Amino acid sequence: MIDLKGKTAIVTGGSLGIGTAIATKLASLGANVAINFRKHDAEAKAVVENCEKLGVKSLAVKADVASFDDAQKMVAQVCDHLGGLQILVCNAGINWDGVSWKMTEEQWDKVIEVNLKGYFNYCRAAIPVFREQAYGKIVNVTSINGIRGKFGQSNYAASKGGIIGFTKTLARELGSKNINVNAVAPGLIETEMVAQMPEEAKNKSLQEIVMARLGQPEEVANVVAFFASDASRHVTGQVLNVDGGQLIA
């Protein structure tokens, strides 16, 4: 059984969807959990309350993942208020779709800034803490579309593919310091983002899934929990698809 008692985790984008499921799962396993939010104040407060009901300490910090300074300040605040940091889950992301010949510079820059630079910002803030204590778990949430590409998502696919390269590089750089770095690549998961998809696009994606159903946020959270635990102590630089076979269809 996975036991995260005595550990503290940051989950970016923890106020909604997959991030909420991850935060709640880690708390259920005994970890103190901090999440960031930018505009979903009520949802972030609810996540903290639910985590605290599980008997752990929890904290919500208003911080923009695209801000280098916000990431530095949040990591310092978490270390001060929750007594350290052992787990970082980078999950916050957005999409702003459009075919490449119509995509604006703003669409490209914003998605890359949040989805890719945001991961760098939090890893850059946490890594010195992990190196000093010679222990850390970094789990990056990417997407199968970062592996295969997706029509109309050149910015999103580029950001998610970049996360994979970033993950593997960090694994090489940090392994000697007992820091594991892995990634989880969800397919079509039942979240707010997927609910906003046009029905035609959603049905087409469903036809790709060999298990013939949408994934649930909790199913992604279960894999993240494994990577965040010492059960995965000899696993690093890996990307595990949680997609019901969507990528192999």
Q: Which of 119, 122, 135, 156 is catalytic?
A: 156
Amino acid at 130: F
Q: Would you call 156 a catalytic residue per the annotation? A: yes
Alpha helices in the chain (DSSP H): 17-28, 41-53, 68-82, 105-112, 118-133, 145-148, 154-174, 192-195, 199-206, 217-228
Whether 107 and 155 have beta carbons less than 8 Å apart is answered as yes
Closest CA to 164 of 122, 115, 130, 126: 115
The CA distance from 117 to 115, in Å, is 6
Question: How many helices and strands in the chain, by DSSP H and E?
Answer: 10, 7
Q: What share of the chain is helix, strand, coil (3-state, %, to 5)?
A: 50, 15, 35
Separation of first and last alpha carbons in the chain: 32
Beta bridge partners of 11: 35, 89
For tokens 């890719």, what's the residue? 116
Residues designated as active site = 156
